[in-house]
Amino acid sequence: MSIEETRALDERYAMPTYPRTPVEFVRGEGARLWDSEGKEYLDFFAGLSVHNAGHCHPRIVEAIADQAATLMGTSNLYLSENAALLAERIANSSLLGRVFLCNSGAEASECAIKLARKYAHGRGIDSPEIVVLDGAFHGRTIAAIAATPKLARDDLFGPLPAGFVPVPRDDPDAVRDAVGKNTAAVMIEPIQGEAGIHPIADEVLVAAREACDESGALLVYDEVQCGMGRTGTLWAFEQLPARPDVMTAAKALGGGLPVGACVTTPEYGEVLTLGDHGSTFAGAPVTAAAALASLGVLSEPALLESVTALGNRFSTGLTALDAVEEVRGRGLMLGAGLADGIDAAAVAANALDRGLVINVPGPSTLRFLPPLVIGEADVDEALEKLEAALGGDAPS
Ligand code: PLP
């Protein structure tokens, strides 16, 4: 099928919820993609922080293929070795409690919200509230948009679930003041990705931790985008001054297949019990096999160290570009604020023409989420292509 035919079908039959760039990638390997016309690209987006292990990593491909040919799933009503191993691996690498497996980041948010509300009801709170930060993104389900201030549109999707209390993302006192006797949780995306890469200040995280400790509320971190090695440690919270009670993960967790997780410390591992929650596909042997392989690749100390070093190299290179006013983020989760008058969408289109895939989370912001398996030469190539893209007209 030609790209024009694909586009026509998509425009006719798919709900028009995405602005699609008219390129179809048909093959990937490591940090490289090829489109339907054979053109090669350097991928600094990784399917929105999904392919952290690189496209078609051989260990992940093999794990999926072997398990797919053996047994894909039998429901959560039966035991599955892969699901049990995956829960163990996620728990032991993070909060040491229990894990609910699911299929996406939004579902992981739902689980965390249900858990926090149920725990609050157990403490005698009839109308539990969840404090959320402006700029955060927690997914697209109805509760997840209620928890995402920018998307909480009652006029479009209301009535939304009540009880979400937004506060400014950079004000420790606002967080402290918002936490009270009805607070079930404070939910934080430690590095806000969709907002254009905004790390939450240590003071805000510490204020949230202290306020939760004083009030009995849970501190929930959404590591759907910033987890899985992206910041140079398997989980972003490992580098932060405050640890959460509950954490969500997804995206790169599944190594390209849909896997999410909500994980707790030991204290909150049995808040959700029999019948409280479920999901048909969650923890299926084939997706769990992919996740185990993805975790295996992304937990390697040498890889994690290289994320920090490559992130520093890229960040230094970005800072040196005249058009870049500010570089934000950690490891290989970086955003660049562009100087006034520069249209980020035009720059990304220019970069794409030059064979570099980057993302535009805002009118004057570029976002970089490359696979973590890149090397120095890839960073340098991305900087060269970006400089050229910032410099002028699209090549013909
Ligand atoms: N949380 C964060 C921080 C995200 O970045 C996203 C997706 O971009 C989600 C939750 C929702 O994940 P999903 O699209 O898998 O539902």
Mean pLDDT over residues 58-77, rounded? 97
Distance (angstroms) between ligand 1 centre and the Cα of 193 equals 9
The pLDDT of residue 393:
56
Q: Give the model confidence (pLDDT) of 210-257 as tens digits.
A: 999 999 999 999 999 999 999 999 999 999 999 999 999 999 999 999
Q: Choose which residue among 137, 151, 253 to substitute to test ligand 1 binding: the one with the highest number of ligand atoms within 8 A of its C-beta.
A: 137
Position 148 pLDDT exceeds 90: yes
Give the pLDDT mean for 379-395.
87
Distance CA 36, CA 39 (A): 8
Helical (H) or strand (E) element with 88: helix 81-93
73 lines ligand 1 (CB under 6 A): no
SS3 302: helix
pLDDT grade for 342, boundaries at 50, 70 and 90: very high
Query: How many other β-carbons are positioned within 10 Å of the β-carbon of residue 160?
Result: 17
CB neighbour class for 392 (10 Å; exposed up to 12, middle 13-18, buried from 19): exposed
Ligand 1 touching residue 221 (CB < 6 A): no
With a 6 Å cutoff on the Cβ, whether 196 touches ligand 1 is no
Indicate if ligand 1 lies below 6 Å from the C-beta of 138: yes
Q: What angle do CA 369, 371, 372 make, to 5 degrees?
A: 105
Nearest CA to ligand 1 atom 7: 139
- Give me 315's structure tokens: 């960040």
pLDDT band at 395 (very low <50, low <70, confident <90, very high): low
Q: How far apart are the first and last CA of the chain?
A: 25
Active-site positions?
Answer: 137, 222, 251
Residue 373: DSSP 8-state: T
The confidence band for 390, taking pLDDT boundaries of 50, 70 and 90, is very high
Asked if residue 396 has pLDDT above 50, the reply is no
pLDDT confidence of residue 383: 98
> Please, what are the domains in the chain?
94-298 (3.40.640.10)
* Whole-number pLDDT of residue 330: 98
* Mean pLDDT over each residue of the chain, to the nearest integer: 97
In the chain, the percentage of residues whose pLDDT exceeds 70 is 99
CA-nearest residue, atom 13 of ligand 1: 105
Rounded CA gap, 328 and 172, in Å? 20
Look at residue 130 in the predicted model and tell me its pLDDT.
Answer: 98
User: Is residue 94 lining ligand 1, measured as CB closer than 6 Å?
Assistant: no
Return the amino acid letter for 192: Q
261 C-alpha vs ligand 1 centroid, how far in Å?
12
pLDDT digits (tens, 9 = 90+) for 293-332: 999 999 999 999 999 999 999 999 999 999 999 999 999 9
> 101 has which bridge partners?
261
Measured in residues, the chain has a length of 396
Query: How many Cα atoms sit within 13 Å of 359 on the Cβ side?
Result: 21
Each residue's pLDDT tens digit, 253-300: 999 999 999 999 999 999 999 999 999 999 999 999 999 999 999 999
Residue 378 has pLDDT above 70, yes or no: yes
In the reported structure, the alpha carbon of residue 38 is separated from the centroid of ligand 1 by a whole-number distance in angstroms of 31
- Rounded CA gap, 29 and 23, in Å? 17
CA dist list (Å): 384 to 221, 317, 389: 35, 9, 9
Query: Per-residue pLDDT averaged across 93-105, rounded?
Result: 98
Q: What is the pLDDT averaged over residues 380-393?
A: 92
CA 191 / ligand 1 centre spacing (Å): 12
